[in-house]
Chains A and B, each alone.
Chain A
Amino acid sequence: MDWTLLLYKTIFLFIIFLITLVVAMYSTYGERKVAAFMQDRIGPNRAGIFGLLQPLADGVKMFMKEEIIPLTANKKLFILGPSIAMSTALLTGVVIPWGGMLNIGGREFSMQITDLNIGILYVFAMVSIGVYGIMIGGWASNNKYALLGAIRAASQMISYELAMGMSIVALVLTTGTLSLHEIVSQQHGMHWNVFYQPLGFLIFMTCAFAETNRAPFDLPECETELIGGYHTEYSSMKLGFYLFAEYINMFISSAVIVTLYFGGFNMPFIDQLGLSPNFVTLLGSLFFFLKIFAFIFLFMWIRWTLPRFRYDQLMNLGWKGLLPLAIFNIMATGVYYYFTELI
């Protein structure tokens, strides 16, 4: 057994875990700031300088709240729901290549926890399991609103997963691989996939919004109609888990979007600078995170701009708009490669 590798992976896993949590924590802060700024307000600024301790205060508040499990709820499932939501959200980060190769003591270490050759499929699988967290939570609450929210979440996820998968098929046609590391390596320099698959990118991003239950697709938890949807009955840290999972999902989806379409950890013009390989790797990771933050900002920007879709509009868009478009995209890509490779 290779103990150095195991040690490295364990430490790296831990770091990624921490980063994910911290980013998600500060996304809540970021979201409130962005929302405030877009509404001509200042946002949280009392806890610490610029309100930077606000997420901590929120966390403490969540922990201190009374833990309520409704009498009529199915207790086991009620606890299982948020656990699934949280763990699947965290599990997705495993296959994302956070950086290139790191040279420590003459050995090459990859800044990716595991490079599955079916990386994309793994991400999909995890996202799909994530729906169970919402479904089970909504069902176990034994509350009509929660159940409605859960049903909406399930149908919305299924509808949008189709289009999402289809947009990925077109991407796989251009890259010829399912491994995320390969996909990123192919986008070296400025050969970002978004330039080859603009339509696919648009479809993928729209679906990513729907998959993460973010506005304008936040029907499962719309406050006005369903008083919170699937987490109506939840309180204390179990509610915190659901809310937190949403932010982790947002972070991970941004990471996946950047990996698939925006060159991952590739930085343009990095080769011309002539830096040491380790430094290039770290700079690349930094750039990767910058890109992720840009996307998180986009997520928030859109949330605070667009009103929520009506349910039939949502289904219309998914089945009659995005799905045919995605299929068309596959065909167009296929035809293009068929002819260019012949000539």
Chain B
Amino acid sequence: MQSLTDRSKIASDKKMSFLEKIYLPAIAKGMAITLKHFFKKKATISYPEQKREFSEVYRGQHVLKRDDIGRERCTACGLCAVACPAEAITMIAAERKPGEENLYREEKYAAVYEINMLRCIFCGDCEEACPKEAIFLTDRIVASQYEREPFIYGKDILLEPLDIEKRIDISKRQTESVLKFKENKRFAHNK
């Protein structure tokens, strides 16, 4: 049979030689290996102080985007919830009242928008499904909690701040080619 790697060894029932029987050479060899690892560079990263380098399109905690003048982009169409394989997204839609034009971009908006971060598998399908460029995944990490309740992120956490300075930058993931690709939804999921 052809072996899968060049490191495989044929098992055999042959009797051990004297040197093998007294174990000592093998033990010394093993100890040399562990000692070598003792002085090796460690693989651990001290997490909160040091962080691993993230990919530019890392899929972490979501953000609900606002447009240039600070209006919420989401129109509560529910496409993200439909696309979500983990069924992590729920929302309650509401109609925009006259005078709220500076708050919501479309006539319908999400009064409640929740993502259950324990269900979410960070696949990014919601981002892909959204026709309004309203939801994006970011390179922020979802913090750990002691209870289950706080993992259900509402609009208070998901929505990005109004302040232009504090907006979440997603230009890395929304490049020209991505926009072009998104133009034709035929290419996306449901293929």
A45 proximal to B (CB < 8 A): yes
B27 touches A37 (CB 8 A): no
Is B7 interfacial (CB 8 A cutoff)? Answer: no
A40 and B40 form a contact (CB under 8 A): yes
* Chain A, residue nearest B38 (CB): A37
Interface 1/0 per residue, A276-309 and B, CB below 8 Å: 0000000000000000000000000110111000
B44 at the interface (CB under 8 A from A): yes
Interface string of A14-45 (1 = CB under 8 A from B): 00000000000000000000100111111001
Q: Mark A30-73, 1 if CB is under 8 A from B, else 0.
A: 00001001111110010000000000000000000000000000
Determine if B35 is an interface residue (Cβ-Cβ < 8 Å): yes
Tell me, in angstroms, the Cα distance from A40 to B30 when the chains sit together: 16
| B-chain residues with CB within 8 Å of residue A38 when the two chains form the complex | 34-35, 37-38
Beyond the given A40-B40, A305-B33, could you list 8 further A-B residue pairs with CB under 8 A, ordered by the A residue number?
A: A37-B38, A38-B35, A40-B37, A40-B41, A41-B44, A42-B46, A302-B31, A306-B30
C-alpha spacing A37/B46, complex, angstroms: 15
Contact B43 A305, beta carbon cutoff 8 Å: no
- A40, A41, A301, A306: the one contacting B35 at CB < 8 Å is A301
Q: Give the chain A neighbours of B40 by CB distance below 8 A.
A: 40
Contact B27 A40 (CB under 8 A): no
A42 engages B37 (CB within 8 Å) = no
Q: How many A-B residue pairs have CB under 8 A?
A: 35
Smallest CB-CB A-B distances: 9 pairs: A42-B44, A305-B34, A38-B34, A305-B30, A40-B43, A37-B38, A41-B44, A305-B31, A38-B37
Smallest Cβ-Cβ distance to B32: which chain A residue = A305
User: Interface residue count for B (Cβ, 8 Å)?
Assistant: 14
B113-154 at interface with A (beta carbon < 8 Å): none
The minimal Cβ–Cβ distance linking A318 to chain B, given in whole angstroms, is 13
Mark B residues whose CB is within 8 Å of A. Answer: 27, 30-31, 33-35, 37-38, 40-44, 46
Q: How far is the CA of A42 from the CA of B42 in the complex (A)?
A: 7
- Cα–Cα distance between A192 and B174 once the two chains are bound (Å): 74
Q: How far is the CB of A321 from chain B (nearest CB, A)?
A: 8
Q: Cβ of B43 and Cβ of A301 under 8 Å apart?
A: no
Q: In the complex, how many angstroms separate the beta carbon of A275 from the nearest chain B beta carbon?
A: 34
Chain A at the B interface: mostly helix, strand, loop or mixed? loop
Which residue of B has the minimal Cβ distance to A42?
A: B44
Chain A contacts for B31, CB-based, 8 A: 301-302, 305
Bound form: Cα–Cα A265–B7 in Å:
48
* A42 contact set on B, CB distance < 8 A: 42, 44, 46
Q: Do A41 and B34 touch (CB < 8 A)?
A: no
Q: Which residues from 288 to 343 on chain A have a C-beta closer than 8 Å to any C-beta of chain B?
A: 301-302, 304-306
What residues of chain A lie closer than 8 Å to B43, measured between beta carbons? 40-41
Q: How far is B44's CA from A137's CA once the two chains are assembled, in angstroms?
A: 39
**In whole angstroms, what is the CA distance A301 to B37 when docked?**
11
Q: Quote the shortest CB–CB distance from A160 to chain B (angstroms).
A: 16
From B30, B34, B37, B38, name the one whose CB has the most chain A CB atoms within 10 angstroms: B34
User: Residue on A with the closest CB to B41?
Assistant: A40
Residues of A within 8 A of B38 (CB): 34, 37-38
Do residues B42 and A41 form an inter-chain contact, with CB atoms below 8 A? yes
B35 proximity list for chain A (CB < 8 A): 38, 301
Q: What is the bound-complex CA distance between A206 and B68, given in angstroms?
A: 74
23 contacts between A and B (CB under 8 A): A34-B38, A37-B38, A38-B37, A38-B38, A39-B37, A40-B37, A40-B40, A40-B41, A40-B42, A40-B43, A41-B42, A41-B43, A41-B44, A42-B44, A42-B46, A45-B46, A301-B31, A301-B35, A304-B34, A305-B27, A305-B31, A305-B33, A306-B30
